[in-house]
Structure 1
Amino acid sequence: MTSYDYDYVVIGGGSGGMASSKEAARLGARVALFDFVKPSTQGTKWGLGGTCVNVGCVPKKLMHYAGLLGAGLHDARHFGWRLGEPTHDWTALRTAVQNHVKSLNFGYRNGLRSAKVNYLNQLARFADPHTVEYTEKDGSVKRLTAAHICISVGGRPIIPTDVPGAVEHAITSDDIFALKNAPGRTLVVGASYIALECAGFLNELGYDVTVAVRSIVLRGFDRQCSEKVASLMADIGVKFKYGPLPTKIEKADGQLHVTFSDGTVDTYQTVLYATGRYADTGGLALENAGVVVGKNGKIPVINEVTNVPHIYAVGDIVEGGLELTPVAIRAGELLARRLFAGATEQMDYVNVPTAVFTPFEYGCVGYTEEAAIAKYGEENIETYLFEFASLELGAAHRSKVPARRADEFDDALPLPCLSKLVCLKPEGERVVGFHYVGPNAGEVTQGFALAVILGATKKDFNKVIGIHPTDAESFTALDITRASGQPFAASGGCGGGKCG
């Protein structure tokens, strides 16, 4: 490898690229990392760290937390706190979020320097299979060579070019977290987890939010859990418009006038598209390296290796991969260890825990109920269910918005929590799917994910003594199956556990 300028060059400074480059450097490799942020359609820019830290997981979780605090103000009154009428300051929230993001950008720069990774803030492209080139500000073209090259450029949100006015006037998740003015009345187009997360925190911050859904919400997730999340969001004020999608967006008098496919017209201050993402591989000149790329811009790989043996891909650009930050990080680190430490461990893409940070969160690991049935056969699957209210939320008496009430007496929020285990009967009811809707779903799921990965059975779950009174306790005593036909909604009790 000494005949090359570097042992390892990584193109893309997101989570996967940074993790892989630092791990390779730790193992003694000579490493260079390229990262360059192309502005969004609305001109939003950000610093080092990729989607997650700048326009994804980090600012999203902070704004989600801000929304939870808003809902908590309602609960506080029921527990004796005397509060005035709360108001929300979008500018203060934006400032707090962006300041934290910038501090992380600074930390990442220092981290690369400490790891002895050569960071180049340049837009890289392939000149040949072992050569990467970039253009300096003065127009000069520089080149460097590498024995191994990893592509980790991530993805960007899709805005449809066939909807007049969408590119000019709509924003995406690349923009919402740095939006200078309060979003006001907002239309979210799409039903992905990004769409519902953004709609959720905006609603909890007090904005009028409508979600335009083409078909179903949270495609790819467990249907029962997905529909429960959407139903709860509707109960607390998010409006769902199923079927019609925007066909034209016009701006007049500072307002966005949206024409839908059913002929209706409505007015919003903000239109946010969250209808998917595309792999940002178009400008890499992959043809110069001989790398095969799909029509969708994603790169087919086997264990992170492309069709060119010394060129690799990790993260959101992998064909058939999982677009999750921890997946990119783990895949990048394992790749570096295989290349520079003789390791053999491969990435496991099946039992990957994840969470959707909607107002009532949803966490899962393993198979959905539908996927488990498709893989193993319905006769081989047993599903355990329990629907209940958290102890705290039950005492706080949260209510539905008036538009969701059947009558004046129908004001109570439905049971917000659902615990679900999908088990494989021929293997002693091994748990192949874990699903939880409720508060702190990410934290609850992270712990139970270890049990699923280690092959725990339903009997193993039953052996665990629950921590009382918690929501996670529900998974230690599930006893109602879907096949039994019995109702699985709690009629009382102490949150996820039993009081006696």
Structure 2
Amino acid sequence: MSTIKFLRSSTHNALRSSLGWCRHAASRPRYNYDLVVLGGGSAGLACAKEAAGCGARVLCFDYVKPTPVGTKWGIGGTCVNVGCIPKKLMHQASLLGEAVHEAVAYGWNVDDKNIRPDWGKLVRSVQNHIKSVNWVTRVDLRDKKVEYVNSMGSFRDSHTIEYVAMPGAEHRQVTSEYVVVAVGGRPRYPDIPGAVELGITSDDIFSYEREPGRTLVVGAGYVGLECACFLKGLGYEPTVMVRSIVLRGFDRQMSELLAAMMTERGIPFLGTTIPKAVERQADGRLLVRYRNTSTQMDGSDVFDTVLWAIGRKGLIEDLNLEAAGVKTHDDKIVVDAAEATSVPHIFAVGDIIYGRPELTPVAILSGRLLARRLFAGSTQLMDYADVATTVFTPLEYSCVGMSEETAIELRGADNIEVFHGYYKPTEFFIPQKSVRHCYLKAVAEVSGDQKILGLHYIGPVAGEVIQGFAAALKSGLTVKTLLNTVGIHPTTAEEFTRLSITKRSGRDPTPASCCS
């Protein structure tokens, strides 16, 4: 069967099955459960709770393998335990340290020279919050009548899930009409000596017991940059090792501006460099050997911590997907527009699926929509286009829609107009903070009312700014509408309503003042 035929037929079968479930629910039970969800992260929990709310009998499996250094956590998945939530808290801690120094310029009597963070207290505070979320999640599952088993579930056949209730116990089996795979992914380690034994990842840093000290962050995706930035803001010394480019997959101009901002703040980059080995020295510190792939020169340096941020892999190895007949691509599961796999009654949502945005809100909404199609007669599919996202660096970078490069590639350079401008946040003036990298742009069509294809922003609270504009963009926002919108003054979001200079014009996009 061709890929196109598979996509069409499996989507049709998934929608037909959902309507059939509604019509013939009274004729059950043929299976132990209507739905078994493998994975208790954002996607799996959203799907399980929504399905239970529709009257389905739902069982959710979730199990976290400890990291090589022994880190483990409770239910909730990456976002709650080792992703979005602790990252944002660490980011906030970093911003607060910066704000203390700014407060002096604003007249606060603060001895900013003697202020330093307590890493241990910060980690305990973050972990206490996470544990409270784990508890609330367990209670919520119970209240919504979702059965939960803290165990690894794997396929015995396409309708049968096998698991071990506790170490040393016999294998048990349950059957289900539908199965949703939502096991997500975990960080990768490079295949070099000492990587696994001596390095850590984002799975470990948020509960790391000792101060990270001088840290080598290997990888320049958003995880690597965010970790490097909050470590710098907390007073440590991160260095970022970049194999090729910073923020691959994002708008190139914005990515380079972000790297320049980090450099200005004292975070060094080792460009076109790959690690070769990590060795523990007699004093306990880590010697990292590396090679610059541009110059072919070898080098080395000593760090207290090495943090791998070189990407993530899908956790398919323990699922025994072959027994169910589910097709994969590398370490991800192939799905169609309805999240159906090659087996029509087996679905996948979240970071485990191939070729979709790996973001928590995407996982949550796709999980809910899938449950509604399966158990509530809905036909609404997840729209994966124009998903907004934010990189939580000191000056945050947020975007929605196309990058400038993608727009040019798809529409042609002559059919694209880019409105852009630098701006000066009012709150930066008194503490004399650098405004060099506060920049935004709108990528739009040339003709007509100039429909906006992408919005990009680097500056304070970028995520809060872009969230509202994301809804506007999905509703067909045009340059005409944007420029006829009255801004809120003095805010940085207002700058989008003042974008009048195009790159094509060659005019200087730097304002003379905050009101120009």
TM-score normalised by the shorter chain: which range applies?
over 0.9
**1:140 aligned partner, one-letter code:** E
Matched, 1:177 2:206: yes
Q: Structure 2 CA distance, aligned partners of 1:393 and 1:98? A: 32
Secondary structure of the corresponding residue to residue 365 of structure 1: strand
Alignment of 1:27-66 (within 5 A): 27-66=54-93
Q: Equivalent of 2:110, from 80, 83, 106? A: 83
Matched, 1:367 2:381: no
The match for 1:192 is 221
Matched, 1:94 2:123: yes
Q: Equivalent of 1:149, from 179, 183, 193? A: 179
Matched, 1:441 2:462: yes
The match for 2:46 is 19
Alignment of 1:240-255 (within 5 A): 240-252=269-281, 253-255=283-285
Q: Provide structure 2 residue ranges, at least 5 long, that are not aligned to the other structure.
A: 1-27, 292-296
The match for 1:330 is 365
The match for 1:401 is none
Contact 1:251 1:257 in 2 (8 A): yes
**1:256 aligned partner, one-letter code:** L
Q: Equivalent of 2:422, from 364, 384, 387? A: 387
The match for 1:474 is 495
Secondary structure of the corresponding residue to residue 119 of structure 1: strand
Q: Structure 1 CA distance, aligned partners of 2:301 and 2:129? A: 36
- Which string of whole-angstrom CA distances, capped at 9 and with x for unpartnered residues, describes residues 214-266 of structure 1? 11111111111111111101101111110122101000111000111132110
Matched, 1:453 2:474: yes
User: More displaced, 76-85 or 213-222?
Assistant: 76-85
For normalisation by structure 2, the TM-score amounts to 0.92
**1:112 aligned partner, one-letter code:** L
- Which string of whole-angstrom CA distances, capped at 9 and with x for unpartnered residues, describes residues 288-338 of structure 1? 000001123443433201010000000111110110000000000000001
Shift of 1:464: 1.0
The match for 1:404 is none
Alignment of 1:208-223 (within 5 A): 208-223=237-252
Matched, 1:418 2:418: no
The match for 2:22 is none
Contact 1:301 1:318 in 2 (8 A): no
Q: Structure 2 CA distance, aligned partners of 1:386 and 1:395? A: 22
Contact 1:301 1:313 in 2 (8 A): no
The match for 1:347 is 382
Contact 1:301 1:319 in 2 (8 A): no
Secondary structure of the corresponding residue to residue 443 of structure 2: strand
Q: Structure 2 CA distance, aligned partners of 1:47 and 1:211? A: 30
Alignment of 1:203-282 (within 5 A): 203-252=232-281, 253-261=283-291, 262-282=297-317
CA RMSD of aligned residues (A): 1.0
Contact 2:426 2:490 in 1 (8 A): yes
Contact 2:417 2:446 in 1 (8 A): yes
Secondary structure of the corresponding residue to residue 280 of structure 2: strand
For normalisation by structure 1, the TM-score amounts to 0.95
Alignment of 1:283-302 (within 5 A): 283-302=318-337
Q: Structure 2 CA distance, aligned partners of 1:18 and 1:97? A: 22
Secondary structure of the corresponding residue to residue 328 of structure 2: coil
Contact 1:294 1:300 in 2 (8 A): no
Q: Structure 2 CA distance, aligned partners of 1:187 and 1:154? A: 26
Q: Structure 2 CA distance, aligned partners of 1:210 and 1:109? A: 39
Q: Equivalent of 2:356, from 310, 321, 343? A: 321
Secondary structure of the corresponding residue to residue 263 of structure 1: strand
Secondary structure of the corresponding residue to residue 347 of structure 1: coil
Shift of 1:51: 0.2
Secondary structure of the corresponding residue to residue 304 of structure 1: coil
Contact 1:390 1:416 in 2 (8 A): no
Q: Structure 1 CA distance, aligned partners of 2:305 and 2:504? A: 45
Q: Structure 2 CA distance, aligned partners of 1:244 and 1:123? A: 38
- Which string of whole-angstrom CA distances, capped at 9 and with x for unpartnered residues, describes residues 80-104 of structure 1? 1121121111001001100000000
Shift of 1:196: 0.2
Q: Structure 2 CA distance, aligned partners of 1:389 and 1:246? A: 39
Contact 2:263 2:269 in 1 (8 A): yes
Shift of 1:427: 5.0
Q: Structure 1 CA distance, aligned partners of 2:332 and 2:495? A: 43
**1:148 aligned partner, one-letter code:** Y
Contact 2:161 2:174 in 1 (8 A): yes
- Which string of whole-angstrom CA distances, capped at 9 and with x for unpartnered residues, describes residues 434-454 of structure 1? 111000000001011111010
The match for 1:432 is 453
Contact 1:59 1:97 in 2 (8 A): yes
Tell me the number of residue pairs that the alignment of Structure 1 and Structure 2 aligns: 480
Contact 1:125 1:285 in 2 (8 A): yes
Q: Structure 1 CA distance, aligned partners of 2:105 and 2:173? A: 65
- Which string of whole-angstrom CA distances, capped at 9 and with x for unpartnered residues, describes residues 182-201 of structure 1? 10000000010000000000
**1:96 aligned partner, one-letter code:** S
Shift of 1:414: 4.6
Secondary structure of the corresponding residue to residue 355 of structure 1: strand
Contact 2:49 2:144 in 1 (8 A): yes
Q: Equivalent of 1:201, from 198, 222, 230? A: 230
Contact 1:355 1:362 in 2 (8 A): yes
**1:464 aligned partner, one-letter code:** T
Secondary structure of the corresponding residue to residue 112 of structure 1: helix
Contact 2:258 2:397 in 1 (8 A): yes
**2:89 aligned partner, one-letter code:** L
Identity %: 50
Shift of 1:133: 0.6
Shift of 1:487: 1.5
Q: Structure 1 CA distance, aligned partners of 2:333 and 2:458? A: 32
Q: Structure 1 CA distance, aligned partners of 2:106 and 2:156? A: 65
Q: Structure 2 CA distance, aligned partners of 1:181 and 1:172? A: 14
Q: Structure 1 CA distance, aligned partners of 2:423 and 2:498? A: 13
Q: Structure 2 CA distance, aligned partners of 1:290 and 1:158? A: 26
Contact 2:332 2:353 in 1 (8 A): no
The match for 1:407 is none
The match for 1:136 is 165
Q: Provide structure 1 residue ranges, at least 5 long, that are not aligned to the other structure.
A: 399-412
Q: Equivalent of 1:6, from 26, 33, 36? A: 33
